[in-house]
Amino acid sequence: MVTMMAATDADHGDAWDDLSFDDEFIAQARINEPSAQQRTRDAERRARAEHLQGRLLHERQTSARTQRRSRRRRRAKSLLAFAVFAGLVSALALAARNDIGRSTELAIYQAWGGATPTPTRSASSAPLGRPPVVDPTDEPHDFLARHPDQSPVAYDPCRPIHYVTNTEAGPQGSAVLVTDALSRISAATGLQFIDDGPTDELPLINRRAFQPERYGDKWAPVLIAWTNPAAIPDLAGSIAGVGGSSSVGNGDTASRSVYVTGIVYLDGPQLAQALRDFATADQAEVGRANVEAVLVHELGHLVGLQHVDDTTQIMNPAAVATKLGNGDRTGLAMLGRGACVALL
Q: Quick one: which of 121, 153, 139 has its CA closest to 249?
A: 153
Query: What DSSP character marks residue 9?
Result: G
- What is the per-residue pLDDT for 241? 93
- What is the per-residue pLDDT for 83? 34
Contact 331, 323 (CB under 8 A): no
Contact 221, 215 (CB under 8 A): yes
Q: Quick one: which of 116, 75, 81 has its CA closest to 263?
A: 81
For residue 232, the one-letter residue type is I
Contact 317, 84 (CB under 8 A): yes
What is the C-alpha separation between 100 and 160, in angstroms, rounded?
Answer: 18
What is the C-alpha separation between 341 and 211, in angstroms, rounded?
Answer: 21
Q: How many residues can be counted in the chain?
A: 344
For residue 246, the one-letter residue type is S
3-state secondary structure of 279: helix
CA distances from 218 to 242, 252, 261, 264 (A): 24, 23, 10, 19
Beta bridge partners of 267: 227
User: What's the CA angle centered on 257, arms 256 and 262, to 5 degrees?
Assistant: 165
Written as tens digits, the pLDDT of the chain (344 aa) is 322 333 334 444 444 344 444 444 434 444 444 455 555 555 556 655 555 555 555 555 555 544 444 333 333 333 233 333 333 333 222 222 222 222 222 233 333 345 789 999 988 989 999 999 988 778 899 999 999 889 999 999 999 999 999 999 999 999 999 999 999 999 999 999 999 999 999 999 889 999 999 999 999 999 999 999 999 999 988 889 999 999 987 554 456 899 999 999 999 999 999 999 988 888 899 999 999 999 999 999 999 999 999 999 999 987 679 999 999 999 999 999 999 998 88
- What is the per-residue pLDDT for 126? 93
What is the C-alpha separation between 63 and 74, in angstroms, rounded?
Answer: 16
CA distances from 266 to 91, 232, 270 (A): 12, 9, 9
Instruction: Please enumerate in sequence order all residues whose Cβ is within 8 A of that of 226, keeping only pairs 6 or more positions apart, or say none.
Output: 166, 167, 168, 169, 170, 171, 174, 265, 266, 267, 268, 271
Residue 321 phi, psi (nearest 5): -70, 145
